[in-house]
Structure 1
Amino acid sequence: MPDDVPVLSRDEAPRLFALVDEVAAAVGTTGVHRVVVVPDANASVGTYGLRGRRVLRIGLGLWEILTPAQRVALLGHELGHYAHGDTRRSRVVGTALRTLAVLVNLLTPDPPDGLLERVAVSTLLAPRAAALGLLTVLDHLTLRASQRAEYLADAAAGRVASTTAVVELMDRLLVSDTVGDKLRRESVLAQTRIGGIRPRDAEDGLWERIAAQTGAVPAREYERLRRAGERRGHSADSTHPPTHLRRRHLAGAAPRPARVTCDESASLAIAAELAPARAAIARRVIRDCAG
């Protein structure tokens, strides 16, 4: 795992891990060994190490714009991938995909400068092409199964957090694309001192401002985004079905009540556990995003 991101253990975040364990049990699997906190407007699960330890990656850009019920839905979806045997997250296939992706990145050099560098770069062309070819083939072979796994994970989230919470999560995903722009704007304003904002001031309350801006999005904008998504087939990436199809599938299913909830006390405790990571990531965003 990267050295420059906060990594939480059970001892450091007992209430967060307790919620993860409760959601995991409700979807029919076990919890995770580590939680990695990143600035992205995304979340994912995976494995690391020879023993296939489980890791949950929480992107604050998404986590911070969700309500407690929507966060339970997010956890239900991600942990649902473990429960339903998602091929791309299995130890063998998942490790192969990650390894090939890293290998392609390592074999992709910077533009050469001079004859000797051009010669050196040319020796990387064949192994990079081989790695990229294998990655493309494996990605294509697992794509259909991956999209099916997304629907199964959505269903698992609905059983845990309620159908309503998962539908609301789908709507939040439509506006999560703008979070990166909001973070970059905060960074630029701080580094250019526009309006007298200093970097330290911008770091304080960063996530609260992002959540407030997202919370102020009116219902009509969500409707517009849903219609636009239907026209262009909005999805998180190629491994995910279009968001509007996922939302429609959930909205058309029989309503389910929440089996796992996160009350105010638990939410505050989890926020306190995440506070050091939130501060570290805010500092990184403000100081690095503009560049």
Structure 2
Amino acid sequence: MNTRSVRHRLGLAATLAGALLSLALAPTGVANAAAQSPSTAGTAKLPRGSAYMGIGVRAHGGGGSGHTAQPLVTQTEGVDVSAYQGAVDWTTLWNSGVRWAYTKATEGTYYTNPDFAQQYNGPYDVGMIRAAYHFATPDTTTGAVQADYFVDHGGGWSADGKTLPGTLDIEWDPYGAACYGLSQSAMVSWIWSFVDEYLNRTGRYPVIYTATSWWTQCTGNYSGFAANDPLWIADYNGTPGTLPAGWGYYTMWQYTDSGPTVGDHDKFNGDITRVQALALG
């Protein structure tokens, strides 16, 4: 069953069942109070920890800004998952042509995915190239602190040829204002803090997942990350669209939130050898 409907039901029920959801999603050993930051406690529509890659894209017109980016002829199918999907049928996905997968590992410094082990090791076991992503909350702690939390909870990288660098999921704040209360310059500084610490810890630049409309609004369409950080663009309008400033091409494209088996489906801009090359570094 497509899990996107489950997400919507959870979102609508969060006001009544927030406490139960927080217990279900909170990492082991973290107090219930840590599931919500002081800045949004009592007002958030969703409990802290319930965000996922692309949570704001559909609500903001599919994330698109024009239609100019041109993909390579060959694209390699991938998926991204979070705790909403639970135990994933990786064999079915492999048989359908999926060859790489990202799993939500962490959010802020208060959440770890309770299904991470199955969702991270499962694709590896069937032959996929796998990796982890971190949902950023720039209003809670610094980028460097969140990068450390991510690496310490499954978001690292290994030179085994089967693990892609971790991804920073930076998009609309599902718990408050779109840009997390930060100015454009402060947002750029926050992202640099995360990128620099992730590089320091792993030797790799993280992938940056975003949507052009959010990036333009919240960073002023800053171009400085394009030289080193691979771009994962979100656009559900049929093409990757216009890319954020600086990036001449995208590495990955999240093209739908309603694909088979898991909902979120993605395309890598190139054949499997390009995926393997990014994994090897």
TM-score relative to the length of structure 2: 0.25
Name the one with the larger strand percent: 2
| Higher Rg of the two aligned structures | 1
